[in-house]
Amino acid sequence: MPLGLLVWMLIGILALVVMIFFSYFNRFAILGNRIDNSLSQIDVQLKRRADLIPNLIETVKGYAKHEKEAIKAVTDARKALVSAQGLEKRIRANNQLESALKTIFALAENYPNLKANENFLELQRELTTTEDKIAYSRQYYNDSILNYNNLCKTFPGMFFAGIFGKKAREYLQITNTEREKPKVEF
């Protein structure tokens, strides 16, 4: 009788240990997936942004042909963004594009017809929105890494991280041009 009880207790403890292992394994998997998803979200938004540029260039050309330099800066920045490999490079290219776009929008002030153009206004609004979304997706990416790293670096997650071979991940560290500066309202 005591032997039977002992066996049951051992089985109980074993089951508990297995459950804890499973739950930590899943936790790592969920948080890891979240990082990957947020990474692809950044790419989605960057692509959406790049797709808006050709339309913008066409509209600007219709009203302000002479601003060749500014237009070229935007098309070049777009090209750099599309061809950039790796997240950090793409974010840098996006920052480049952002400043080129600022020049275009500032120049538009000199062209009343362009400024009043429905299509131009719509594109300007869309570009601001995607810029917002890029900033938010980067924020979520870093938040996801923070959650993951907290699990990796605190006990008891640390213990399981060692067993499952999970390591803390790197944050995205590029100076945040969007969030610090006051936003331009259109």
Partner 1 sequence: MEKTRVDFRDEITRNKLKSFLLMFVIFLIIIALGYVISFAYTPDAFFGILILSIIISISYLLITYYNSDKIALFSVNAREVKRENNKLYYDVVESITIASGLPMPRLYVMPSKQINAFASGRNPKKSVICVTEGTLEKLDRRELEGVIAHELGHIGSYDIRYMTLVAVMVGIISIISEIFLRSLWFKSNDRDNNKGNAIFMLIGIILAILAPILVYFVQLAISRKREFSADATAVKFTRYPPGLIGALEKIKYQNAPEKKITKAIAPLFFANPFKELGNTHPSIDKRISLLKKM
Query: Rule CB under 8 A: which residues touch partner 1?
Result: 34, 37-38, 41, 45, 125, 129, 132-133, 136-137, 139-140, 142-144, 146-147, 150, 179, 183, 185
Question: Min. distance of Cβ 26 from partner 1 in angstroms?
Answer: 13
Q: Are 11 and 17 in contact (CB under 8 A)?
A: no
Question: Min. distance of Cβ 1 from partner 1 in angstroms?
Answer: 38
Closer Cβ to partner 1, 13 or 51, answer by number:
51
Closer Cβ to partner 1, 103 or 129, answer by number:
129
Q: Between vectors from CA 98 to CA 138 and to CA 46, what angle results, nearest 5°?
A: 45
Closer Cβ to partner 1, 148 or 160, answer by number:
148
Question: Min. distance of Cβ 179 from partner 1 in angstroms?
Answer: 7
Question: Min. distance of Cβ 180 from partner 1 in angstroms?
Answer: 10
Per-position DSSP letters for 102-143, written without gaps between them: HHHHHHHTT-HHHHH-HHHHHHHHHHHHHHHHHHHHHHHHHH
Closer Cβ to partner 1, 61 or 125, answer by number:
125
Cα–Cα distances in Å, from 167 out to 5, 130, 158? Answer: 41, 32, 9
Closer Cβ to partner 1, 80 or 135, answer by number:
135
Alpha carbon distance 34, 147 (integer Å): 10
Question: Min. distance of Cβ 182 from partner 1 in angstroms?
Answer: 10
Q: How long a stretch of residues is the chain?
A: 186
Q: Are 21 and 160 in contact (CB under 8 A)?
A: yes
Residue 48 is given by DSSP the state: H
Q: Between vectors from CA 174 to CA 185 and to CA 43, what angle results, nearest 5°?
A: 75
